Amino acid sequence: MSQDVVVEVEIRASVETVWRLLVEPAELVRWLGISATLEPRPGGRFRFELFPGQFCSGRYLEVAPPRRVVLTWGWEDPAIPVPPGSTTVAIDLDSRGSELTAVRLVHSGLETAMRPLHAEGWQRYLRRLAAAATGAEPPPDPSLPYQGPDAAPNPLARGGTQ
């Protein structure tokens, strides 16, 4: 049985602001990816393009605005051993006042080898979420080294380096 990846962060923004960054396509791509198709309702489609040609997709399982979203998660690239729908991401938002939100992300169902890479990725992307929520420029996209003709091997892919 695999262990869960758990990442927590406090964001200096209202729970409603953070919620929009999770469920609205134009807001999601401010911190995660370059394009998105989101249907935030149980059974609705979740798909985003992290960088050209690299897609993540799944289905919404639970949507409870503005407090909780649960979706299946996986990569469409067959070289990444996390196929669409094979894992689950739950994100809980807890208002700690009008302009402070605690975010708790739990990614379950990952194989042992994928947990550290996803944990690191989620930590970096949640920092980008926090910056976007406050109106600051997010830190560089962690996927940049894996893009373009001189790209490093993607560490999520079979045979990639860590």
In a domain, 22, yes or no: yes
pLDDT digits (tens, 9 = 90+) for 107-161: 999 999 999 999 999 999 999 999 999 999 999 888 776 666 665 566 666 544 4
10 Å Cβ neighbour count for 54? 20
In a domain, 103, yes or no: yes
In a domain, 148, yes or no: no
In whole angstroms, give the CA distance from residue 137 to residue 15.
Answer: 19
pLDDT more than 90, % of the chain? 78
User: Could you tell me which residues come within 8 angstroms of residue 1 by beta carbon, excluding any fewer than 6 positions away?
Assistant: none
pLDDT digits (tens, 9 = 90+) for 85-96: 999 999 999 999
Q: Which of 109, 103, 75 is nearest to 89 (CA)?
A: 109
CATH code, domain with 34: 3.30.530.20
User: Could you tell me where the DSSP H helices lie in 2-110?
Assistant: 15-23, 25-28
In a domain, 32, yes or no: yes
Q: In this structure, are residues 46 and 61 in contact, taking their beta carbons and an 8 Å threshold?
A: no
User: Could you tell me which residues come within 8 angstroms of residue 110 by beta carbon, excluding any fewer than 6 positions away?
Assistant: 2, 5, 82, 87, 118
> How many structural domains does the chain have?
1
Backbone angles phi, psi at 77, to 5 degrees: -70, 115
pTM for the model stands at 0.89
Q: Which of 134, 101, 139, 94 is nearest to 121 (CA)?
A: 139
- Give me the domain span that covers residue 80: 5-139
